[in-house]
Structure 1
Amino acid sequence: MNDVSAPAIPAAPFSLAIDAMGGDHAPDIVLAGLELAADRHPNARMLLVGDESLLKPQLAKYPKAARICEIRHASSAISMEMKPTSALRLRDSSLRVAIDAVAHEEAGGIVSAGNSGAMLALAKIVLKTLPGVTRPAMAAVNPSARGDVVMLDLGANISCDTRNLVEFAVMGEAFAKAVLGLPAPRIGLLNVGVEELKGDERLRRAAEILRESPLSDQFYGFVEGHDITAGTTDVVVTDGFSGNIALKTGEGALKLVSQLLQRVFKTNLLTRIGYLLVRPGLERMKEWIDPRRYNGAVFVGLNGIVVKSHGGADAEGFAAAIDVAMDAVTHSINEKIRTRLAQVERLMSAPSENESAEASAVA
């Protein structure tokens, strides 16, 4: 990911609004994560939202976090089980107050480990989407053989049309530039094969638009599931249904490999000795694929940076989510999305070759 040391202070009074009450282990893990983040972002200012009577004494235990944080009281919190419809009615929740701070341009973005459904619903209603964006998408970074790869959508949109996929490609490019620091990230469309005739009409039309757009030099074409971990492209675009399945399958595969390795090395004395010999390499591999490094999914396409931390994240994981949000804010990801969308809007509005042929036949 990008170098996160001492970024410039964003234009808003606060760099980020932090939902201190969201997540399985809030607020302890949130404060511990901010303590780590303070070393990486010494110029940042954080708006810490939650129960002031609870947060004030606890924050005193984290002097580095206390230096960059200002507490704003919120009288309630949204539980992980609460339905989005109920969360929308709770105007004094820590999540709602934090999102309101972004909407009022007091903060450049928000980070929360709380209820993801409530977070997306609130963000869409309060912040609304960027001009030209029909649907926000969930984007996150995953490991690959060639480095990090951005995937979107990961579950926010189960079914998508051609326009959605092109928008996701635009947003994925901006995300990769901001978070991975890539000047010209390569983009692939996830499909059932790499041949041009594979997939349905929406995929083929999206590929056609991207080949004709200002992103043409960066558009690789269709990619398959194995290309995600191979690092064939820097950005993988898909609908939320396929993206979420791919994400959960990858997570399951990593857990399976870890369990099998433990089983193998505990087989007998020789395998235990073998483990001692390869342990340094295994520790390096474990660090490389550590899920805490990749914590922090961004709902891209909204009027403000919205980052969802895993609900069960530890301090390192929550700090990583803050890193992602700071990268997105300081590198003006939304301005990059606006610029690109304006460039491809004409192509998305134009009829496809099939539609043009049908219109000519009717005429």
Structure 2
Amino acid sequence: MSQPPSPSIKTRLLILSDTHSALPHAPTNQPNASPFRTPFPRADVALHCGDLTMVGKLDEYERALQLLSAIDAELKLVIAGNHDISLDEVFYACKGQYMQRLKEPDDELVGKAKALWTGERARAAGVRYLEEGTYGFVLRSGARLRIYASPYQPEFCDWAFPYYRHQDRFNPPHNCTPNSEPIAENPIPDYPSIDILLTHGPPYSILDKTTTEEHVGCEHLLRAARRAKPLLHCFGHIHEGWGAERVGWPTNSNPDLDINLDTDLKPNSPQISHRTRVPVDASALARDRAAYVDISSRGPRPLVRGSETLMVNASVMDAQYRPGQGAWVVDLDLERDEAKAGDGDGDGDGDVDMVDG
């Protein structure tokens, strides 16, 4: 008698951020080689957490698309970052000419940039450009991926996709951080609605420390992440924060008390019950061209869904804008989508299905 299929499917993710239009180094077997080199490790899904470019020029986007096209993955999900200024139409209209040092404003660049990331070339490479919101995809394996994406972060050195620190962009008004201004147009949904949280900026106190020892992540995003409890939260933005942590969420029988924990914004806030840094072996990182972590049910330490989240800062650039930090490869379990499993793509283009988020 045949066994019923497993309700979950082990899925491999390749995570990059802050490539800033750099192309990977050529293949080499040198022991101290940069991990940012071809070929990239194969994955089911690639995630780019923004800052595709230095300042949002069209030739920079072209190089970023060239980089993503070289990745062997059936689905590649991409968001913008604060350096991708021409993908933020409002910001670019105000400051694009100045920031790109143009003699005259380029009124067509915003449309060209968006067309590049949503057009046929990107789709043929498996790339899907995500604006802020919740999305669902079904892979050819039958695994269902539910993801929330946002390019926004607290105002940082006057770059794109900003909001002020007193503004809560990620929580609905009834869950808003106390004494903040609710501005969420597409709030992060409650647990267990999403598997992955894909943002450009980090949450407060998690892989967000600058060279000046300042935590610059978003407290509202931390609050939303705890509410959503995804399997994975990946981001970049703070280059020197590269790394990964397993974060445990506290539980409380009184939801109101649980929400009020968010008024404490110290790095060891009671919002987090425990946190463990994922160790990285430098020689293995250079050899394998990525840092690997397995949180699937078959791994050495499976992640407890609803109690833990793997946080990953995948910035390829270091603090001096040198592309020497590696990608991350994460193995995790996604739920099987019974209605779509094994049927390929419903639209006939040989790719994955996009379903309601």
TM over 0.5: no
Q: Mark the structure with the bigger radius of gyration.
A: 1
Between Structure 1 and Structure 2, which shows a larger proportion of helix residues?
Answer: 1
Q: TM-score range by the shorter chain?
A: under 0.3
TM-score (norm. length: structure 1): 0.27
Between Structure 1 and Structure 2, which shows a larger proportion of strand residues?
Answer: 2
